Structure 1
Amino acid sequence: MAARRPCPLAGSRVDGVLCAGLFSNVRVRWNRAGQVAAHYCVGVLLAAGEGSRFRAARPHDGDGAHKLLAALLDGRAVAQASASTLLSVLPDTIAVVGGQPPELATMLSRLGCSLLQAPPPPRGMGISLAAAARHLLARPAPGGQLPGCVVALADMPWVRASTLHQLLQHAGPDRIVAPAYQGRRGHPVVFGAAFLHELAGLEGDSGARALVARHGALEINCDDPGILMDIDVPQDLLTGDSSS
């Protein structure tokens, strides 16, 4: 049996990778070439938010005020750009959507996302993520192995596909992987399959913040400011680069 390779110590930097937290529970799978074996992952796009601050700034626009349908400088809708990037890397992507506006679900479905209806309001990011995790636990797993998930936010249209590829290179079944830009952690976040049961129990609007704090995350330094940029108010549409 080959000797187990040591995991980098918490806080150390190896090839531009920062290990944050204590990784006592990380099992890294190595192939015969000495490289980390890929961990199958599914994309999870959280698109069920109400966007209340954006809507408040456009009170007379009706459903047109939904930030995920608002147009970026390149003409694409916010959620269209976010979903397209995620789908380009992970064709198996689930979009968690609310009931309104129906045009959002239609657009995401046409792009290629599988749709998952979020629980009724009041809901938060944690509740939507829990619904996705329960869905992944319940559906047949490819090869009998549960997938990990790349959790992306639909209101972050400037994340680059190259960043997703970077994160997936470091994914593992017992590992949480997150991007960092200039020392700040951002989104999307990759959760190994071992965390699906904990994700399924999330509540409220804090997402998986407590889970990440409890287990630690492997932070991957990347040259992508889009991991920190979301759409919160209409003025945000005028910033950023929607190319991937």
Structure 2
Amino acid sequence: MRRGLEAIVLAAGLGSRFGGGKLVSDFEGRLLIEGALGAAFAAPAQGVTVVLGADDRVEDAALAFARRWGESRRLRLVYAADHAEGLSASLRAGLGALGDDCRAAFIFLGDMPRIPHDVLEPLAEALDKGAVAAAPVCDGRRGHPALLSRALFAQLRDLTGDQGARAVLDALGDRLALIPTKDQGVLFDVDLPPT
């Protein structure tokens, strides 16, 4: 755990393309959101903030997961009242819940269940070496989670609509550290139910 680092799990969406209930649906023998929660709690972060919204069952799932793993003290739940606006609303709610001592935040997406835990420490190390943000890259594609320094929080709070941090990261140039990985889990998300 590193002082000043926090983790945020964006889990407020409806999952409409999935047909609703996406994050609490079964995925490989567990709830879909549990993959993101496991990665967030594995991050070298002081706390894990889960942003809630469209599906009340996500709160119960997060609480139950944290209890099972002995992590209840690190869990913070935040409700994004304007979650219907999209990803930016969830991001704003998560950032708004962080204390003044937070110097950077990992951003996890609730529908990305295969994030490899071994990318997390290298992301933190990149910020220690002066990067403004860090993200994994696999097969030439930038993946998740991103680790974003406080210097970017104001820009992120200004985002609107169904967009996350992509444009902010794109504008960073070489101030964004890219951490290579061969693990496709940094790219894998669930949009549609299994067929």
Does the Cα contact within 8 Å between 1:44 and 1:96 map onto a contact in 2? yes
Matched residue of 2:27: which SS?
A: coil
The residue identity in structure 1 corresponding to 2:7 is G
Query: In proportion to residue count, which structure has more strand?
Result: 2
**Bigger radius of gyration:** 1
Q: CA deviation at 1:109?
A: 2.5
Per the alignment, do residues 48 and 195 of structure 1 end up closer, same or farther by CA in structure 2, a change over 3 Å counting? same
1:48 aligns with 2:5: no
TM-superposition CA deviations, 1:62-91 (whole Å, max 9, x none): xxx511011122x11010121022112235
Q: CA deviation at 1:140?
A: 4.5
TM alignment of 1:202-217, pairs within 5 A? 202-216=159-173, 217=176
TM alignment of 1:227-238, pairs within 5 A? 227-235=186-194
Does the Cα contact within 8 Å between 1:174 and 1:195 map onto a contact in 2? no
Structure 1 unmatched runs, 5+: 1-37, 56-64, 237-244
Q: CA deviation at 1:118?
A: 0.8
Q: Greater shift after overlay, 205-214 or 184-193?
A: 205-214
The residue identity in structure 1 corresponding to 2:141 is R
Does the Cα contact within 8 Å between 2:14 and 2:55 map onto a contact in 1? no
Does the Cα contact within 8 Å between 1:174 and 1:193 map onto a contact in 2? no
Does the Cα contact within 8 Å between 2:82 and 2:89 map onto a contact in 1? no
Aligned mate of 2:40, from 53, 62, 86:
86
Does the Cα contact within 8 Å between 2:123 and 2:179 map onto a contact in 1? yes
Match of 1:107 in 2: 61
RMSD: 1.9
The residue identity in structure 1 corresponding to 2:40 is L
1:69 aligns with 2:24: yes
Compute the TM-score of the two structures, normalised by the length of structure 2: 0.85
The residue identity in structure 1 corresponding to 2:50 is A
Structure 2 unmatched runs, 5+: 67-71
Q: CA deviation at 1:131?
A: 1.8
Aligned mate of 1:95, from 38, 50, 69:
50
TM alignment of 1:194-209, pairs within 5 A? 194-209=151-166
Match of 1:221 in 2: 180
Q: CA deviation at 1:108?
A: 0.9
Superposed structure 1 runs of 4+ greater than 4 Å apart: none
Compute the TM-score of the two structures, normalised by the length of structure 1: 0.69
Identity across matched positions, percent: 29
Aligned pairs, how many? 182
1:130 aligns with 2:92: yes
Does the Cα contact within 8 Å between 2:35 and 2:115 map onto a contact in 1? no
Per the alignment, do residues 121 and 44 of structure 1 end up closer, same or farther by CA in structure 2, a change over 3 Å counting? closer
Does the Cα contact within 8 Å between 1:97 and 1:118 map onto a contact in 2? yes
Does the Cα contact within 8 Å between 1:174 and 1:194 map onto a contact in 2? no
How far apart, CA to CA, are the structure 2 residues paired with 1:183 and 1:157? 20
Matched residue of 1:83: which SS?
A: helix
